[in-house]
């Protein structure tokens, strides 16, 4: 078994990652078919934290972080370590030491479906951390797991190299081969929303699509209901 081989997979292109940084997770989710968002239990340790980068996937047994440590040793700069920790919150899978190592390795962030600790210091840091709650208890380091394979994290399938985007609303996963199309759609959506905000500020308060949506639902339009 060669651990370094687990880090050799195709990643979303750097230029697409930079384009993705300008968008909220919510925008990307909307234009990706309103799918790909992780369970809301996975939250940033500080509301100001955001993450954007290719997924380096890890699967561990509940409460054991051995393979998480291996991922730290072999992941590449910019990688977001995404851990299927089975949503276990009975102990923390990482804390100050592992985050310090990740920062030194210039990784992109952690998205962990398990608990973290050392919250007071980590929440004040610059390194992006998304986890399932907190717990002061530390993990064991003795059970095998998997690196660089498809995983399920927060109810979402994640493949190595997929785009991970997270902010205060949560985390969305964009499949690597769909990123370019999703970003193009996101740019259009942002432009449409900007136009709608300008209309609201100009006094046009009712959304232009609302009457059509009411008709399709078999309901009277606003004008008909007012008569």
User: Is 118 among the annotated ligand-binding positions?
Assistant: yes
Whether the pLDDT of residue 224 is over 80: the answer is no
pTM given for the model: 0.93
Place of tokens 């380091």: 141
Measured in whole angstroms, the distance separating CA 83 from the mean position of its chain's CA atoms is 12
Strands 151-153 and 146-147: unpaired
38 labeled binding residue: no
Q: Which residue has the tokens 């398990």?
A: 114
Written as six digits, the tokens of 181 are 């199309």
Task: Delineate the domains of the chain, giving CATH numbers in brackets.
Answer: 3-183 (3.50.30.40), 194-226 (no CATH)
Lowest-confidence range among 24-28, 93-97, 216-220? 216-220
Taking only the tens place, the pLDDT of each residue in 116-125 is: 999 999 999 9
- Per residue in 56-112, pLDDT (tens digit) is 999 999 999 999 999 999 999 999 999 999 999 999 999 999 999 999 999 999 999
CA distances from 128 to 99, 131, 145, 210 (A): 9, 10, 24, 39
Q: Is 67 annotated as a binding residue?
A: no
Percentage of the chain lying above the pLDDT 90 cut: 91
97 marked ligand binding residue: yes
The pLDDT confidence band at residue 2, using thresholds 50, 70 and 90, is confident
Binding site annotation covers 109? no
Question: Which residue's entry shows tokens 């493949």?
Answer: 159
95 among the known binding-site residues?
Answer: yes
């Amino acid at each position: 078994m060669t651990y370094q081989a687990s880090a050799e997979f195709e990643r979303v292109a750097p230029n697409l990652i930079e384009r993705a940084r300008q968008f909220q997770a919510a925008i990307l989710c909307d234009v990706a078919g309103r799918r790909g968002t992780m369970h809301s239990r996975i939250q940033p340790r500080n509301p100001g934290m955001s993450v954007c980068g290719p997924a380096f996937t890890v699967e561990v047994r509940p409460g054991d972080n051995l393979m998480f440590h291996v991922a730290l040793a072999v992941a590449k700069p910019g990688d977001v370590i995404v851990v299927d920790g089975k949503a276990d919150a009975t102990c923390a899978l990482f804390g100050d030491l592992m985050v310090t190592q990740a920062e030194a390795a210039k990784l992109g962030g952690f998205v962990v479906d398990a608990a973290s600790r050392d919250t007071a210091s980590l929440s004040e840091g610059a390194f992006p951390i998304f986890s399932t709650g907190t717990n002061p208890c530390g993990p064991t380091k003795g059970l095998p797991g998997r690196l660089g394979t498809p995983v399920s994290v927060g109810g979402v399938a994640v493949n190595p190299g997929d785009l991970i985007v997270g902010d205060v609303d949560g985390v969305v996963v964009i499949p690597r081969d769909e990123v370019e199309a999703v970003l193009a759609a996101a740019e259009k959506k942002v432009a449409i929303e900007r136009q709608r905000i300008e209309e609201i500020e100009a006094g046009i308060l009712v959304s232009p699509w609302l009457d059509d949506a009411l008709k399709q639902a078999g309901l009277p339009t606003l004008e008909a209901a007012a008569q």
